[in-house]
Amino acid sequence: MNVLLGVGGGIAAYKSAELARALMERGLRVQVVLTDAAQRFITPLTFAALTGRKVITNLFATASSEETLSSAIEHISVAQDNDVMVVAPATADLLARLAYGHADDFLTTTYLAFTGPVVLAPAMNSNMWAHPATQENLNILRKRGHVIVEPEDGLLACGMTGPGRLAEPDRLADVVASLGLGSKDLDGETVLITAGPTQEPLDPVRFISNRSSGKMGYALAEVAGERGARVVLISGPVHLPAPQGVTLIRVHTAIEMRNAVFEHLAEATIIVKSAAVADYHLSRVPQHKVKKTATRMSLELDPTPDILAELGQKKGDRLLIGFAAETENLTAGARSKLESKNCDMVVANLVGQDGTGFESDENEAVLVLSTGETIPLPRAPKREIADRIFDQVMKLRLALHAAQ
C-alpha cells in the first residue's frame, strides 16, 4: 500500500520522520510531501534518506517550461498513486486550508485531487487547538469523513501544558495501516453498539454513574462504519464527537438505554454491548432536591434491567458481543458471563490497572468466544482493538454460516 505523508510546518515535524519510519516498518511505501513551512523545521534530505524516494517540496519547483508542466500536473499522479493520505503534523493553518479547499501549494492541491481516506494528525499550542476557528475547521474535516487523530496532552514546545502534542508515531502508523486494509467486510451488516456510562438520577440535580468515557464504544462505531456496516450507536453521556456516518441515539439511564436497544433490535445483525450500564438505580426519583440534614442517610437501590441478559434471550440468529469488566479471574469470569447471558463473544477487560480501561486511549483485552477459543489482545489503541474485535466477529459469522 502507498501512503502519501504530508508534513506541515510545526515543531512536531521531526516526529513525522519517525512516522515515515514506522509506516515503512509496517510494510507501507511512503511518498513525502513537505510544505514550505515544514522545510524550516526539517530538511527534505532527512525524508529522502529514510524513504529512499524523492521528496516533493513545491508545486512549481523548476524554471524550465517543460519541467514546470510536468511538476504542475505531478500532484494529479501523486494523488492517483497513493492509497491513503496522512498529514502530520497538521498545523492550524493547514487544517484551515484543507477545510476550505485552498490549493496554493503541492500538498493542498494534491489533497483536492485525492479520493482515498485521509488521516489528519493535528499538533499545535493548546489555545490554538481549543480556538473555535480550529474546532470549526476540524468539524468540517470530520464531516467530510476524514480521520482526525487527536493530539495528546502534555508539555508543549511553547511551555504550556495541555492538548496539542502530535499523536505518537506508532499510534498514527497503526491508524494509517488499518485504514489501508480498507476491506468492507461488514458491508450489509447493521451493527448496534452501546457505549459510555449510564446516569441514574437520585434527585433533579444528582446522579450515580461510573468512569466509562465511551472511547471504546465510539472506536467500535467508527471502525464498523469504515468497514462498511450501517451503525446505530446508543450512547450514554460522554464528551466525544459523534462518529461520522453513524446513527447516534443519546440516552441517560439504563432504562432509556434498554428501550432504545429494543427499538432498534429488529434492524440489527450484530450487537456490541460496550456500555458500562449502572447495575442499580433509584426506582422512584424525588421530584425535588434532597435537603441536607444532620443525620446519616442511606440509599435503597433497585437493580436496573440487565440489557445483555435480555438480549441473550431475544437475539435470534444475531451475533451478540458482551463486555466484562473484571478485577480478577478475567477469562473465567468472562466465560461464565458468555454462557449465562448467551453471548457469542465476550470482550474481557482487566480494570483497575494504569493506562488501559475506562478513560484511556488504549486498551488490553481477552476475547472469549463461544467456539471455546480465548484470544488475548495485547495493549493497543482502542481503534486497533476495535478492528481485532470485528475480525473475530466476522470469523464467527463465517463459522456459524458453515455450521448451518
DSSP state of 149: -
The yes or no reply on residue 216 touching ligand CTP (CB under 6 A) is: no
Give backbone dihedrals phi and psi of 76, rounded to 5 degrees, phi first: -70, -45
Determine whether 3 is exposed, middle or buried from the number of CB atoms within 10 Å of its CB (0-12, 13-18, 19+): buried
Whether 158 is catalytic is yes
Residues within window 57-76 making contact with ligand CTP, judged by CB under 6 A: none
The yes or no reply on residue 191 touching ligand CTP (CB under 6 A) is: no
Residue burial 33-57, b: 16+ Cβ < 10 Å; e: rest:
bbbebbbebbebebbeebbeeebbb
Q: Which stretch binds ligand CTP (CB under 6 A): 49-57, 101-109, 320-328, 377-385?
A: 320-328
The yes or no reply on residue 279 touching ligand CTP (CB under 6 A) is: yes
The yes or no reply on residue 369 touching ligand CTP (CB under 6 A) is: no
The yes or no reply on residue 324 touching ligand CTP (CB under 6 A) is: yes
Nearest approach, Cβ of residue 278 and ligand CTP (Å): 7
The yes or no reply on residue 306 touching ligand CTP (CB under 6 A) is: yes
* Terminal alpha carbon distance of the chain: 37
Q: Which stretch binds ligand CTP (CB under 6 A): 201-209, 218-226, 282-290, 304-312?
A: 304-312
Q: Which residue has the cell 456516518?
A: 245
Which C-beta is closer to ligand CTP: that of 19 or that of 277? 277
Element (H, E) at 201: strand 200-203
The one-letter code for the residue type at 196 is: G
DSSP state of 153: E
The yes or no reply on residue 308 touching ligand CTP (CB under 6 A) is: yes
Nearest approach, Cβ of residue 331 and ligand CTP (Å): 13
Give backbone dihedrals phi and psi of 377, rounded to 5 degrees, phi first: -115, 105
Of 113, 158, 265, 375, catalytic: 158
134 forms beta bridges with: none
**Which of 379, 364, 386 lies closest to 170 in space, CA to CA?**
379
Residues within window 234-263 making contact with ligand CTP, judged by CB under 6 A: 254
Which C-beta is closer to ligand CTP: that of 171 or that of 337? 337
Q: How many residues of this chain bind ligand CTP (CB under 6 A)?
A: 13
Residue of the chain from 307, 320, 386, 389 that contacts ligand CTP (CB under 6 A) = 307
Strands (E) located in 252-385 = 270-273, 280-281, 302-303, 319-326, 345-350, 362-369, 374-381
Residue of the chain from 169, 197, 236, 322 that contacts ligand CTP (CB under 6 A) = 322
β-strands 319-326, 302-303 pairing: unpaired
Q: Which residues bind ligand CTP (CB under 6 A)?
A: 254, 273, 275, 277, 279, 304, 306-308, 322-325
Which residues are tagged catalytic?
A: 158
